[in-house]
């Protein structure tokens, strides 16, 4: 079982092409940073791949739960496909959340953009969780997001309140703690419902930009700064588009011992 590991600003995934059937327990073992390979999730390509058609990908969070679409994961798939098909820069990636147009603008530099389509943004409302109060907008861009606006943010607030906020929604939600730095800049801390605290998340960056734009706090183009780095997000009438760096970390092969362990939990 071969795999390729990619990361985007510290948000890392294991890509398996083709993607074998994996139980939630097997995914948890693969993503365990001590007992397995270690990652925020797994990307499973449903082959054989034909770049002239939408390429189907299944995404599973580190806790074994399904993810309808990872924006960073889709960009990783795009870079992976560009490596397999030199000279081709545009791909369509099909996920349970819909099809996404991916463009590899510079394969050597790992610059990849993805379109997520329109996001559904709820009106602002207060949210009270575990004795703490927040100003929230709920965003659905293929995944559920609770976007919380604060006068300042840091890793501490995400660690302290992320799990309680995520668990307060049916099926859990991804959580973004947002500080508006200006009309074209946001600072965001992320707590993902299936991976916990992460240094970056593409879908979360898009959700934060969508919520801020809907409130009139930012323009159509913003830089979203996260602990792992920044991405550029555009919010327009045809939907949301994000661009940033993706890196291939390494290629590897699952050992015989780990394969046996995966079979046992399967």
Give the tokens for residue 216.
Answer: 């009139």
174 is in an annotated binding site: yes
Supply the pTM of this predicted model.
0.96
Domain locations in the chain as residue ranges = 2-115+246-265, 120-236
Give the model confidence (pLDDT) of 48-72 as tens digits.
788 889 999 999 999 999 999 999 9
- Hey, do 2-115+246-265 and 120-236 end up sharing a CATH topology, with the first three levels equal? yes
- What is the second-level CATH architecture of the domain 2-115+246-265? Roll (3.10)
How far, in Å, CA of 249 to CA of 245, rounded?
A: 12
72 is in an annotated binding site: no
Report the pLDDT value the prediction gives residue 48, as an integer from 0 to 100. Answer: 79
141 is in an annotated binding site: no
Q: What residues pair up with 15 in beta bridges, in sequence order?
A: 4, 43
- What is the second-level CATH architecture of the domain 120-236? Roll (3.10)
Are 73 and 13 in contact by the 8 Å Cβ rule? The answer is yes
Report whether pLDDT(135) > 80: yes
Per the document, the length of the chain is 266
Report the pLDDT value the prediction gives residue 91, as an integer from 0 to 100. Answer: 97
Report the pLDDT value the prediction gives residue 51, as an integer from 0 to 100. Answer: 86
CA distances from 50 to 6, 8, 93 (A): 21, 25, 11
> Directed axis angle between helix 24-31 and helix 256-265, to 10°?
140
**Where do the H-state alpha helices sit in 85-188?**
155-167
């Amino acid at each position: 079982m071969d795999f390729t590991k990619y990361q985007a600003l510290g948000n890392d995934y294991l890509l398996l092409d083709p993607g074998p059937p994996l139980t939630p327990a097997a995914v948890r073992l693969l993503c365990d940073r001590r007992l397995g390979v270690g990652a925020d999730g797994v990307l499973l390509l449903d082959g054989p791949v034909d770049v002239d058609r939408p390429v189907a990908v299944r995404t599973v969070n580190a806790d074994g739960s399904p993810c309808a679409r990872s924006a960073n994961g889709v960009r990783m798939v795009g870079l992976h496909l560009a490596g397999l098909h030199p000279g081709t820069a545009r791909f369509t990636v099909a996920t349970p959340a819909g099809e996404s147009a991916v463009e590899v603008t510079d394969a050597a530099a790992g610059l990849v953009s993805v379109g997520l389509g329109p996001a559904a943004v709820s009106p602002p409302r207060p949210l009270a969780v575990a004795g703490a109060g927040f100003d929230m907008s709920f965003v659905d861009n293929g995944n559920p997001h609770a976007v919380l606006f604060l006068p300042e943010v840091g890793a501490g607030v995400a660690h302290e309140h992320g799990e309680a906020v995520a668990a307060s929604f049916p099926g859990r939600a991804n959580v973004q703690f947002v500080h508006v730095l200006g009309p074209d800049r946001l600072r965001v801390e992320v707590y993902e419902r299936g991976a916990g605290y992460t240094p970056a998340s593409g879908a979360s960056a898009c959700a934060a930009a969508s919520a801020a734009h809907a409130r009139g706090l930012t323009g159509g183009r913003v830089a979203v700064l996260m602990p792992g780095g920044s991405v550029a997000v555009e919010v327009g009438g045809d939907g949301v588009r994000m661009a940033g760096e993706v890196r291939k970390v390494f290629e590897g092969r699952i050992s015989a011992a780990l394969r046996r362990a995966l079979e046992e939990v399967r």
